[in-house]
Structure 1
Amino acid sequence: MSEPEAEPEATPDIQEVKAAIHDANARLTPSERRVGEVILRDYPMAGMQSVTKLADLAEVSTPTVIRMARKLGFEGFPEMQAALRAEVAERIKAPSLKRDARAETGARHMIHRYAETVISNINASLDRLDPAVFDAVADLLADTARPAYFVGGRITRANASNFHNHMQIIRSNVTLLSQTPNVWPHYLLDMDAGAVLVVFDIRRYEKDLQKLAELAHARGAAIVLFTDQWGSPIAEFAAHVFRLQVEAPSNWDSTIAIMAVVEALIAAVQAKRWDDSRDRLEELESMFSTTRVFRNFT
């Protein structure tokens, strides 16, 4: 007897196809889960194939693929593919193309509209963030036996630098990779199964960062990825992934949600290492006093 077809739910946001697969996992049959696994294995391109080809790859029938799409909330497979195509278009959208799509008219001031978007980004990011992943990353970064490396892209380099700067105060054995990719192999020489590589990569995902992550993964390094809601291809090699909201009413994406998680991780790592980091902080303050880096108002 065939399974009854579930009533379609509200169509998911185009950014949430991957999340919809994860969320629906408990409601899917084993055959339908295989379809989801095939899509996730090469996301989003696997889902862009014909329904027949996708069914063959998952070793299921075409009606199974259609039922799976409906359980995700789509009217059928073509609607799910349309959402995936829209997602790909968003991933590669250049800054110059974003303004028209996000233009908003009205009397409200930009600072209020922007702030509301950022707050929404943070809330949405926290809703999907897995506390277990957060705790696992905090444990990794608190372990000084594991050298930690930090790297970012053209826009996210500042996020990597800020994270590294605080980790350098809290613990030893941390490195900020050079901005020049052709010297990254020098750092790879020292990366092994004990190393942690923290990578920041948001759309339009950078090929150099992907190659670095692939090589570090091959050497056994644990990769922690900070990316956007669509997901950098580096996720394929990452042990832990933070998918955070970045869209804003601007030509450029916002990394404020990313920084919120970074700052929370800094606080968590410092709490885990407080006895040791307190000594480092006191020694650092003594050096600041000796070198008169900061003004003394006393």
Structure 2
Amino acid sequence: MTDAKQTISDRIQEQMDALTRAERQLALSILENYPASGLGPLAALAKGAHVSVPTVARMVQKLGYKGYSDFQADLREELGAIAKGPIAKHETWAGAAPSEHILNRFTDAVIDNIRNTLAHIDPAEFDAASALVADPSRHLYIVGGRITHTLAEYLFLHLQVIRPHVTHVQSTSNTWPHYLVNAKPGDVFVIFDVRRYENNTLKLAELANARGAKIVLFTDQWRSPVHRMADISLTSQIIVPSAWDSATTTMLLVESMISAVQTLDWEKTKDRMEELEDIFDQTRLFRKFT
């Protein structure tokens, strides 16, 4: 890829304001079914977006490519990266592993992920997502996947302290109807979905979207298919020298959101925390040292 730290989707988002009306129409068409949308012939992409062939050629050059074939090569590489399972990812890493200790190499990768994530995230979008999550008039549903359910539960446990009307949606799809039946227009679903994107999560998002719910998505740099219906997508860089992707940067965004949400209405949050501490004292859940 021409920039190992940046996806074509990132490039398109960065260039969006500089695109012509036709080029913007093409960009939105590509993002609609990204990255598969750009894998066909140039003429087919132009026809699908209802633009001319020269429009495709011009926009590809604006994204930093010499031609459509170079653009497609990067798309294929991204698609291959998305599809990799843990064994394939580990073998790719091991062949080029430097001699330094894993603690240093892993930490360096995580720091790079954090820097690149923060360089591309829109603070206004993050603030808007935090405001949606903080709004007590909206019922909040939080759901994760096979791995990301741990992040979902972490967010749920904190927000349950900060505000009322928070539900942790279990990952098994046979329980979803019981949650969705209560979802109203304007309610918020916080969804975690990173590569190998889960079909069950996509279906839940589709059902929530159909009921008029708002969706805040935590995903990776390639973006889950859920992003097509998400109101706000918060993307994280996740590649590290491991058979598994890293959740560190996503956790950073989660903990930053927890901090932002508690600050938006600190007086009410403080009252809830004090009430909760009183209940803890009554139940003797935690040890007291004074």
The verdict on how the C-alpha distance between 1:122 and 1:297 changes in structure 2, with shifts beyond 3 A counting, is: same
Spell out, residue by residue over 1:15-35, the C-alpha distance to the aligned partner (whole angstroms, 9 max, x if none): 511111122234433333332
Classify the secondary structure of the residue corresponding to 1:204. Answer: coil
- Paired with 1:271 and 1:285, the residues of 2 have a C-alpha distance of 19
Contact 1:191 1:221 in 2 (8 A): yes
- One-letter amino acid of the counterpart of residue 238, structure 1: A
- Paired with 1:297 and 1:153, the residues of 2 have a C-alpha distance of 39
- Paired with 2:107 and 2:37, the residues of 1 have a C-alpha distance of 36
The verdict on how the C-alpha distance between 1:182 and 1:68 changes in structure 2, with shifts beyond 3 A counting, is: same
Classify the secondary structure of the residue corresponding to 1:225. Answer: strand
The aligned residue for residue 226 of structure 1 is 218
Classify the secondary structure of the residue corresponding to 1:24. Answer: helix
Classify the secondary structure of the residue corresponding to 2:212. Answer: coil
Classify the secondary structure of the residue corresponding to 1:227. Answer: strand
- Paired with 2:56 and 2:171, the residues of 1 have a C-alpha distance of 44
The aligned residue for residue 283 of structure 2 is 291
Note the C-alpha offset of 1:272: 1.1
TM, length-normalised to structure 1: 0.93
Classify the secondary structure of the residue corresponding to 1:193. Answer: coil
The aligned residue for residue 128 of structure 2 is 136
Classify the secondary structure of the residue corresponding to 1:224. Answer: strand
- One-letter amino acid of the counterpart of residue 140, structure 2: A
The aligned residue for residue 6 of structure 1 is none
The aligned residue for residue 65 of structure 2 is 74
Contact 1:67 1:76 in 2 (8 A): no
Higher mean C-alpha deviation, range 127-136 or range 104-113: 104-113
Classify the secondary structure of the residue corresponding to 1:251. Answer: coil
Higher mean C-alpha deviation, range 287-296 or range 157-166: 287-296
Note the C-alpha offset of 1:142: 1.6
Classify the secondary structure of the residue corresponding to 2:128. Answer: helix
Please show how residues 199-218 of structure 1 align to structure 2 within 5 Å.
199-218=191-210
Please show how residues 1-298 of structure 1 align to structure 2 within 5 Å.
11-13=2-4, 15-103=6-94, 104-298=96-290
Note the C-alpha offset of 1:116: 1.1
- Paired with 1:136 and 1:255, the residues of 2 have a C-alpha distance of 22
The verdict on how the C-alpha distance between 1:80 and 1:112 changes in structure 2, with shifts beyond 3 A counting, is: same
Note the C-alpha offset of 1:12: 3.6
- Paired with 2:85 and 2:169, the residues of 1 have a C-alpha distance of 26
TM, length-normalised to structure 2: 0.95
Note the C-alpha offset of 1:14: 7.8
- Paired with 1:14 and 1:84, the residues of 2 have a C-alpha distance of 14
Spell out, residue by residue over 1:106-142, the C-alpha distance to the aligned partner (whole angstroms, 9 max, x if none): 4421111111111111111111111111111111122
Spell out, residue by residue over 1:197-241, the C-alpha distance to the aligned partner (whole angstroms, 9 max, x if none): 000000000000000000000000001100000000000111110
Classify the secondary structure of the residue corresponding to 1:112. Answer: helix
% of aligned pairs identical? 45
Classify the secondary structure of the residue corresponding to 1:271. Answer: helix
The verdict on how the C-alpha distance between 1:279 and 1:25 changes in structure 2, with shifts beyond 3 A counting, is: closer
- Paired with 1:158 and 1:102, the residues of 2 have a C-alpha distance of 25
Note the C-alpha offset of 1:69: 1.2
Classify the secondary structure of the residue corresponding to 1:234. Answer: helix
Contact 2:2 2:74 in 1 (8 A): no
Contact 1:14 1:84 in 2 (8 A): no
The verdict on how the C-alpha distance between 1:120 and 1:13 changes in structure 2, with shifts beyond 3 A counting, is: closer
The aligned residue for residue 5 of structure 1 is none
Contact 1:12 1:74 in 2 (8 A): no
- Paired with 2:6 and 2:224, the residues of 1 have a C-alpha distance of 13
Contact 2:5 2:116 in 1 (8 A): no
